[in-house]
A and B are shown apart, each in its own frame.
Chain A
Amino acid sequence: DIQLTHSPSFLSASVGDRVTITCRASQGISSYLAWYQQKPGKAPKLLIYAASTLQSGVPSRFSGSGSGTEFTLTISSLQPEDFATYYCQQLNSYPLTFGGGTKVEIK
């Protein structure tokens, strides 16, 4: 199974900060990586697919990059509504797997 490792698993940041989250895969997955945002008690929301394509309706302050085994999610200017947990997911091979998540909290 392909393992995904988030770094960091927790971060504290302020409104307006630039935030970068890394997701590393245990083997190459090309660009078959998605990023999700989840708020407490809510379903996940797709932000980015194919490593760098912004899902329709997602603010442009979110961006993704990477291929192979290393990927990043960047929020260019953190907004109050962005405080949440972020997960990466690989769709290269079964079983599909998620990373353990990065929780972004208010400093």
Chain B
Amino acid sequence: EVQLVESGGGLVQPGGSLRVSCAASGFTLSSYWMSWVRQAPGKGLEWVANINQDGREKHYVDSVKGRFTISRDNAKNSLYLQMNSLRAEDTAVYYCASELRLWGFFGMDVWGQGTTVTVSS
């Protein structure tokens, strides 16, 4: 079964750091672009960052640039999001997702169940 499982969420103080992880099973992560998408409590979806297959190309939403870093370890079939200088507005469920890229970029077709990050003192 194709599956993505996030971990590492928790409660962190403003200004603190946290790394969330995403482990893939049933498919080879190294073949796919991967994204992180978040959802604040009661709010809509927000794309956060993505990374290409070899980790050399990365993109971020402006609100996290310079604070968050997306990375991957293909040998471990895993994706990561290092979050520094966390703010209350970063409180959200964080989902990892694989990207559907055929002749173009078409969406995110496999999603994890999400991990909750709460930034509060």
Contact = CB atoms under 8 A, between A and B. Distances in A.
A95 B104 contact: no
B104 A50 contact: yes
A69 interface: no
B interface bracket (residues with beta carbon within 8 Å of A): 20 to 34
Given A46-B100, A98-B44, A98-B45, A91 B109 contact: no
Interface in B30-66: 35, 37, 44-47, 50, 59-62
B59 A95 contact: yes
Contacts, number: 63
For the residues of B in contact with A, the DSSP-based class is strand
Contacts of B60: 95
B105 A44 contact: no
B44 A91 contact: no
For the residues of A in contact with B, the DSSP-based class is loop
A43 B38 CA distance: 10
A91 B59 contact: no
Interface of A: 32, 34, 36, 38, 42-46, 49-50, 53, 55, 87, 89, 91, 94-101
Interface of B: 35, 37, 44-47, 50, 59-62, 95, 97, 100, 104-109, 111-114
22 contacts: A32-B104, A32-B106, A34-B106, A34-B107, A36-B108, A43-B97, A44-B45, A46-B107, A49-B106, A50-B104, A50-B106, A55-B109, A89-B47, A91-B106, A91-B107, A95-B59, A96-B35, A96-B47, A97-B47, A98-B45, A98-B47, A99-B44
